[in-house]
Amino acid sequence: MIIEAIKDRIETELLVFMDELDREHFLSKTSPFLFRIIREFTLRKGKRIRPILFLPGYLGFADRAAENLYHCALSIELLHNFTLVHDDIIDKSLFQRGKPSMYAYLTEYLKKRRRIKFNVKDMAPASGDVMYALALSAFLTINECWDRKEKAFKRLIRSAVSTGSGEFMEILCGTTGLERMKKTEICKIYELKTADYTFAIPLVTGAILAGADEKETGRLLRFGKNAGIAFQIKDDLLDILDAERVGRRDPFIEVQEAN
């Protein structure tokens, strides 16, 4: 029930949030097409695991909800969307959250244009970069004291470095072959690429912003990393099972469930 109430509030705030980002960065003025697709992409239905984890991370240690708490929570969702855009380019995924992926969307857009000098792999990073910057800017809107904001923000950035490194490591491993990979390497990729920013970071940054101490955030970090690795193992197993049952499920539903 509490999770459902948080999720409803997140969906409502997401609408307000997108309008505020637009006002702050003049996006619909300078880049109407780009803003339209980012907005549509962001407002798609999703599980919202990251903002949902961020909120108890914060509220578990705070006396009251700070101003713009939900915007701060949503910034992590936006950061996730940015990684989805970059991942879909890498995997050439056509669907994301039950609708065409940004990769598919831009491919379609380019098909209709007569002069195609660039391809979709050129356009999508730029749209992802804008989402990345918007997310980071939104994280700082929370009205909390500066030392906590700095500490939480640095942790968020460190996690962005980990995610990028994990993504890079995964691609490198793809060039040597799965059967040669060690279990520890796979776990390291899970930890860097998924566990840190999906589970650990929402909990830990929320707690840091609310003033939790090192011991408390250390516990949340360990819990988040382990829960994240477990999540990713299950997610990969489901992918394998789904691949074996090809044709029996609707790809739109599969995609919705995976994120």
Give residues in contact with a copy of itself (CB under 8 A).
24-25, 27, 30-31, 33-34, 86, 89-90, 110, 113-118, 121-123, 125-130, 132-134, 136-137, 140, 146-147, 149-150, 153-154, 157-158, 160-165, 167-169, 171-172, 174-177, 188, 192
Q: Is 201 exposed, middle or buried (0-12, 13-18, 19+ CB in 10 A)?
A: buried
CA dihedral 220, 223, 225, 228 (to 10 degrees): -120
Min. distance of Cβ 52 from a copy of itself in angstroms? 24
Nearer to a copy of itself, 25 or 99 (CB): 25
Min. distance of Cβ 128 from a copy of itself in angstroms? 7
Min. distance of Cβ 95 from a copy of itself in angstroms? 18
- Coil vs helix vs strand at 94: coil
Residue 96's H or E segment, with its range, is: strand 95-96
Nearer to a copy of itself, 157 or 253 (CB): 157
Nearer to a copy of itself, 188 or 219 (CB): 188
Min. distance of Cβ 9 from a copy of itself in angstroms? 25
CA distance 227 to 190: 11
Nearer to a copy of itself, 16 or 116 (CB): 116
Burial code (b: 16+ CB inside 10 Å, e: under 16) for 153-187 equals bebbeebbebbeebbeebeebeeeeeeeeeeeebe
Min. distance of Cβ 60 from a copy of itself in angstroms? 25
Nearer to a copy of itself, 33 or 252 (CB): 33
Min. distance of Cβ 196 from a copy of itself in angstroms? 11
Residue 17's H or E segment, with its range, is: helix 2-25
Per-position DSSP letters for 125-154, written without gaps between them: HHHHHHHHHHHHHHHTTS-S-HHHHHHHHH
Nearer to a copy of itself, 71 or 256 (CB): 71
